[in-house]
Structure formats: structure tokens, C-alpha cells
Chains A and B, each alone.
Chain A
Amino acid sequence: MEISSRAAWLVLGLPLALGLAWITHGTGVIQNDPDRNISIPEELTMPLQVQAAFNDTHVYFRYRWPASQPHVLHDVLIYQNGEWIRKGGGMPGPNPEGFHEDRVSMMLDDGSVPGFDRYGGYIAIGAGAAGFTDEAPEEVTKSLPGTRIDVTDWASVKSPETLNALREAGYFLDLWHWRGHRSNPLNLSDDQWVGEQRGGDSGTSPYTTNWDKDANAPKWMFNPETTGQFALKLDEIPGGQVGPDTPYFLSDSTAVAFDPEHEWQNGDVIPRRYIRQTEGSRGDIKVQSEATWKDGYWDVTLYRQLDTGAPTEDKILENQGLYSAAFAIHRNATGGRWHMVSLPVSLGMGREAQLQAMAFNGGQPEWGNNWKEVTLFYPGQVNWPLLISRAHAGAEDIEIGTPVQARHSERQLAIYGVEMEFNNEIISQWLLTLIAGLLAMLGVTIGLLSVFSARSTNRKGARS
């Protein structure tokens, strides 16, 4: 047998190497790492259906989204061996005990915030944002870039005078924030804004904290006369799921002052939040009828006056106005940044837009089946300073105002968001893979040199 025939099989080393790389690619790096605030959701995108309508005085938004289970409990206090232990605080990814409320939120702008109509919530994620691996030492919530002297420095907030002027000029986002536990039980929604931070409108919020620091105990407990219980039982709320007839929230009608003399049992559960009526601008948004969870879907309708009379806290809406909205969903007992978000959607009040609010007469809209289908995605750890930096190839596109939708799909953004959480590790592994592939090629080439030796050439230019 000739040399050329005997060693030619070595060429199979290349498809073997590349095939192995193909089969195993994308594994070995991405995994949850709570120490670095990393928890990747199982599904990177999800659907949201939205409808909008308005009459002479009010605007209505209806949201419908899939959720395998309703999470209407938020953080709770659990009695354990003489102490009340908090469960359900914010954490990377889903709360394993199910103690985190479902939420739908919507940021709204009237064109006063440059870039929101093109980049949506991305512009509200500044440096040091809470929940990021490199989060600031103190909690940094959503904020707008124009409120910082240096967008790469979370602490470089502009002067109060400038912030006030920005607010007067409309440089803020209106934030509608329905909370499954901390507002919904009383058919309320939280009403907030995003400016130099995420803040609440003036007035009284729909919840307060049920904790007495001095007594190291709750302030309130369930009213046994109206609810038939002093507390929930931990073993009766598996996965944070309450029965349909189980009283699960504390409010004026369901709570009384905490009784430390009661014989509390291990596993007794008291909500850590007390739900109350809102006052002032904070209470502008309410739930129409009741929010429902049925057959794996939440169906929530919120409404508000078109003109709330608070133009520095709410975006005032008008017939034939064109606005921008971006949505977010918290589900599966997740909180913080582990939500699903949308790209911006144009909102037309009685005029053509991606989401057209239909004008109607009367007390409440007749919802048809004309939904705006929105794809939400997991945004990962991508912030505005990164997007406008040299580390983002699309920074020039942002500079000239190219909308994000022109360059990226929601699925693509979700993948990029996840990869950004492991950017250094992936670059390292990618580079090693690249070099290893080239080394495999070099080795195969050396192996084949004997096959391609000129000494064994028989006939010039002919094949055998």
C-alpha cells in the first residue's frame, strides 16, 4: 500500500474535531450563580397581550399573560422556635418557596424622554443597577441617563435644582405598577415614576411594612373574627399558593393588632405587608372589576384618569395623542431584574399606532378580541452605559437614533442578555475554542504531509 493511501484517513481527524465541537458547543459556561446575582430563566421570551381604550375621562389598559401559577403572596413572616423569620425577599431568580408576587408594569412617555420610544426600558438601566453582578453598594433603582452628570457613575446625580427642572420639563417616565399582593387585594395599582430613581407618586402607597422593629414582631395579624384564622399555615400554602377562599392579605378588613400573647405555632405565616387604601397621586391607577387568574393566564385591567392633575408625576394623555409604552412582567415568584420586558410600543389615543387605544362612550370599554401581541424577553445584564460605549458595536447606531427593533429581535436580545452575564468567561472559552480548532487543523496538516509528499507523485497533473 502506498503512503498516500495508508495515512490519508488522518484527514478524518478534522471532521471528528469539528463534529465534537459542534455537538458540545455552548455548554460548560452558562449556569446559575447566586453569588454573582445570576439566575437564568428557563424561558427567555414570553407573550403578553395588551388592549387599550379610553373615553372622555379615563384610559384603560388590559393585560393578559401566561403564568403557570398565580403568586399573590409576597414576603412573609414565618414563626419558628420563638422568632418571626422573613421569607420571600428579593433574590436572584425565582423564590424557591414561591413567596414573591406576580406583577405587570408599564412605563409610559409622551415624547419628553429622548430615546425611550426607540430603546424602551434600556435607557432606564443605569450603572450599578441593583441585581447586577457589579451592583452598587447601595440600592440603585431605575433611572434616566439625563439625571446623571456621568452616566457611568451611578452616584453622579445632578443637582436638585436641575432634577426639578427636568421634571417640570417632563423628563420622567410614568410607571404603572400592578402588584399581585401589595396592591391588587384592594383593586389598586401602584403609581410610580422613573426619573433620577424609581419613585412613588406623592400620596400614600398601597402597602406598608408589617414589622415592629422595637418589638421584633409583626404589627398586625389576621383578624380571627373576619378571616377565621390568626395566621396562614406554612404547610397549607405549598409553593406560596393560597386556596381560592383563603384570606391571604392584611388590610383594614382582615387584620387586627398583633397579639404577642397568642400561642403561636411553628409554621404560622403572616404577610409582611399591610395593604391599605392609597391617597393622592399615588392612588391614581385602579383595577377595573377584578384581576383574575384562570386557566394559566392573568387578566388584569387598569384604568386611570386621562388627566390626573399631576403632570410632573403622570403623563397626561389626550385624544389623538401619540405616546410610547414598554411593559414588564414578573411571574414564577421572581423579583427585581429577573423579569421579562418588552421593547417600546407606540401608543395612539384613537390614532394609528402599534397599540391603538380605542375611543368609546360609556362607563367601561367593550373589549373585543383585538389584542396587541407583544413579545417579552429576559434582558439579562445590559445597561445603558454599556450600550452607548465602545464595547457595543451598535453604539453608533444609537447615536444616530436607529431604533433597537431595526437591529435586534427580542429573542436575539435575550440571548445577548444572557451571554453578557458571562461575557468574560465566554470570551475566554471562545478564544480557546478558536485556537484549539486551529491547532487541530495544524496537527491534521502535519499528519497529512506524508500523504502529500512530492516523492510519491506519479504523473504530472493526472488523477489516479
Chain B
Amino acid sequence: MTGIHHMLVHFPLGFWALATLMILVGSFFKGRLADISREALLPILVLSLLAAAITVASGFLVWPLEAALASPLTRNHILTALWSLGIFTMLTVLVWRAGSGAFEGARRWVLVLLALTGMSIFATTGTIGGHLVGATTQFSELLKLLGWDVYNTFYTPTWVIGALVLIGLICAVAGRISQRSAR
């Protein structure tokens, strides 16, 4: 399964990189290429999710689960992969919901911010994957300079876990309140 996972992983990474590029082009440029980027973004995002789901599933078959959970590198690979999937799922939902107006007004800044965040995380996922097969890159050195050595498991203290949930809750409630007040 290791080889198949290595092969499959190119698909979500390729789609996500392409989606990020399309969001940047669609947000900051005019012309046919920008139009195509905006029009084709949703199908690319949907394909990326399908590819990612299959790839993540194949990743869990590379090693026994107890081995994957016992390895700091693998734990980090799983976390960043699922967070990447989470962010591009956000993008997919938002672009799908807004339809052809996904790039209007402040929305494009939302898309850009999410895309760049997602890109950073899936780049980290790929870098850690490289470490797992013995092919390290300088990107992990950059992460180290920024404060995270990828050989350490990425986890947070309990109060931060609570804060993350709280932030999500506040955003959800604030959004709903904002929507109601606008009606």
C-alpha cells in the first residue's frame, strides 16, 4: 500500500495547488484566464476532496494503526493531512454555496486567506511524508525556524484545545447573528 499511497497523494496535492492558484488568479487578475479560474474552481475543489478522501484512506493502510499512532512523524502527517482536507472542504462548501458570486466583495479575501492557509498545511503534510520515506526537504528546516521541529508531535495543551473549540463556536454564532440581523 505504501507505493499506492505515494502515487495517490499526487492527486489531492495537485488539485489543491491548482485550486490555490485559481483562487489567486481569480481574485487578483482580470481576463479570460481569471474567468476560467473562477468558473472551474468548484469542480477542481470537488475532485480534490474525492482524491484526498481516497488518499487519506490509503494512507491509513500503509502501516498498522498502532504503528501510525506511535510515530510522531506519522501523527503529524495525519493531523496536517486532515487539517488540509478540512480547509479545502471549507473552501468547497463556501464556493459551492456562493455559486458564481464566490469572488465578489470581501469573499475573495476569505478565499485567498483560506487557500494560502490550506497551501501551507498541505505543503507541511507533503514534507512530513517525505520524512517518512527518508527524503527530507529544507521546508522542514523553515518550520523549525518558525518554532516547530516536525519530529515532535504537534499537540496543544488542554486549554488551547478548549480555545479552538470556543473560537469555532463564537464564529458560528456570530455568523448566524450577523445573518439574522441583516434580514
Contacts and interface: CB of A to CB of B under 8 A. Distances in A.
B45 to A, nearest CB: 13
B163 A20 contact: yes
Contacts of B113: 11-12, 14-15
Nearest to B34: A463
Contacts of A24: 156-157, 160
B41 to A, nearest CB: 10
Interface in A1-57: 2-8, 10-18, 20-29
Contacts of A442: 86, 168, 172
B155 A444 contact: no
Q: How large is the interface on B (under 10, 10 to 19, 20 to 34, 35 or more residues)?
A: 35 or more
Interface string A115-149: 00000000000000000000000000000000000
B171 A25 contact: no
B107 A451 contact: yes
B107 A4 contact: yes
Interface in B27-67: 27, 34-35, 38-39, 63-64, 66-67
- Chain B interface SS verdict (over half): helix
Interface in B118-149: 132, 134, 146-149
- Chain A interface SS verdict (over half): helix
Contacts of B161: 429, 432-433, 436
B178 A3 contact: yes
A451 B165 CA distance: 21
Interface in A411-432: 411-412, 415-416, 419-420, 423, 426-427, 429-430, 432
A439 B155 contact: no
Contacts of B105: 2, 4-5, 8, 464
Chain A CB within 10 Å — which of B39, B74, B114, B160 has the most? B160
Given A390-B67, A439-B165, A456 B179 contact: no
Interface in A82-141: none
Nearest to B29: A463
Nearest to A443: B168
29 contacts: A4-B104, A8-B106, A10-B171, A10-B174, A21-B154, A24-B160, A27-B156, A28-B156, A28-B158, A29-B157, A415-B152, A420-B70, A427-B70, A432-B155, A437-B79, A438-B83, A439-B164, A440-B167, A443-B165, A450-B176, A450-B178, A452-B95, A452-B107, A453-B97, A453-B98, A456-B101, A457-B99, A459-B100, A459-B104
Interface of B: 26-27, 34-35, 38-39, 63-64, 66-72, 74-75, 78-79, 82-83, 86-87, 89-90, 93-95, 97-110, 113-114, 117, 132, 134, 146-149, 151-165, 167-176, 178-179, 182
Given A12-B113, A13-B171, A411-B151, 20 more contacts: A4-B104, A4-B107, A10-B175, A14-B117, A28-B158, A393-B74, A393-B132, A433-B156, A440-B171, A444-B167, A445-B94, A447-B171, A447-B174, A447-B176, A448-B94, A448-B110, A452-B107, A458-B104, A463-B108, A464-B104
Interface of A: 2-8, 10-18, 20-29, 390-393, 395, 406-407, 411-412, 415-416, 419-420, 423, 426-427, 429-430, 432-434, 436-454, 456-464
